[in-house]
Amino acid sequence: MSMQAAAPVPAHAATSSAAARATGLGKVYGQGETRVVALDSVSVEFGRGRFTAIMGPSGSGKSTLMHCMAGLDSVSTGSAQIGDTELSGLNDRQLTRLRRDSVGFVFQAFNLLPTLTALENITLPMAIAGRRPDQQWLDTVVATVGLSGRLSHRPAQLSGGQQQRVAVARALASRPEIIFADEPTGNLDSRAGSEILGFLRESVREWGRTVVMVTHDPVAAAYADRVVFLADGRLTDELLAPTAEGVLDRMRQFDALARTS
């Protein structure tokens, strides 16, 4: 449908400066009979200051890719890099420090500690690191996500949308190298969901943050600058400046392909 969809472009050629990069990344679970290949030699770059969506049907390996890139899971073969840091050589302690200092997370659900207030949740990564938050930046982030009046509330006193906004604020507050969002709107109604996606896009456009989002929702993917498609643990396609229809169309093609092959 769209112009860019004409031919798959090699991923690493797409951008000049990458915030994160996978090269021949493989991930295998189990051994022998129960061996499952979740990622099969995936090479992809996530451009700095870009909003990238990872799409694919369930079981395609999109979450595994995110987990490996974010240092949540170990890499079986190949390499995963954040900035100039190679993840596959790091031990647990180094990975933890990397996640703390260079990565922000927004999960689908259960993003917040119920015992801490919204503000405490937002500043938690910095508290763990023993760093003082940059107050001015913090105020900006809080104001942008519209939480100013609710900072002393506990998660139980916030709606689902507000909780996710706290999570987004947390991911932004420490100014990490890259933010990973795993189905951030999966549990929200469409209005709250579009708010969250709006914030993510704004953070990329206004502040030059880097966001990588895993989703299976074409509408959500349309907020991104670029969509990469995964199937059976392999990178199959990508789409620049996507629209919801474009993404949906591309996915239908995959479905058809899968059925005929």
**Which residues contact another protein by CB under 8 A?**
67, 70, 72-73, 92-93, 96-97, 99-101, 105, 107, 110-116, 124-125, 127-130, 156, 170
Placement of tokens 């490996």 in the chain: 68
CB closer to another protein, 124 vs 219: 124
Shortest spacing between CB 110 and another protein, in angstroms: 5
Shortest spacing between CB 103 and another protein, in angstroms: 8
Shortest spacing between CB 261 and another protein, in angstroms: 30
The letter for the amino acid at 223 is Y
CB closer to another protein, 137 vs 243: 137
Shortest spacing between CB 197 and another protein, in angstroms: 21
Shortest spacing between CB 244 and another protein, in angstroms: 27
**Under 8 Å between Cβ of 229 and 196:** no
Q: Is 228 exposed, middle or buried (0-12, 13-18, 19+ CB in 10 A)?
A: buried
**Under 8 Å between Cβ of 74 and 245:** no
CB closer to another protein, 62 vs 170: 170
User: Across 4-115, where does the E strand assignment appear?
Assistant: 18-29, 36-47, 51-55, 77-82, 85-86, 103-106
CB closer to another protein, 37 vs 128: 128
CB closer to another protein, 125 vs 242: 125
The letter for the amino acid at 187 is N
Count the alpha carbons within 13 Å of 124 in the hemisphere toward its beta carbon.
20
Buried b (16+ CB within 10 A) or exposed e, 34-59: eeebbbbebebbbbbebbbbbbbeee
Shortest spacing between CB 104 and another protein, in angstroms: 8
Shortest spacing between CB 101 and another protein, in angstroms: 7
**Under 8 Å between Cβ of 142 and 176:** no
CB closer to another protein, 233 vs 242: 233
**Under 8 Å between Cβ of 39 and 79:** no
**Under 8 Å between Cβ of 146 and 165:** yes
**Under 8 Å between Cβ of 182 and 107:** yes
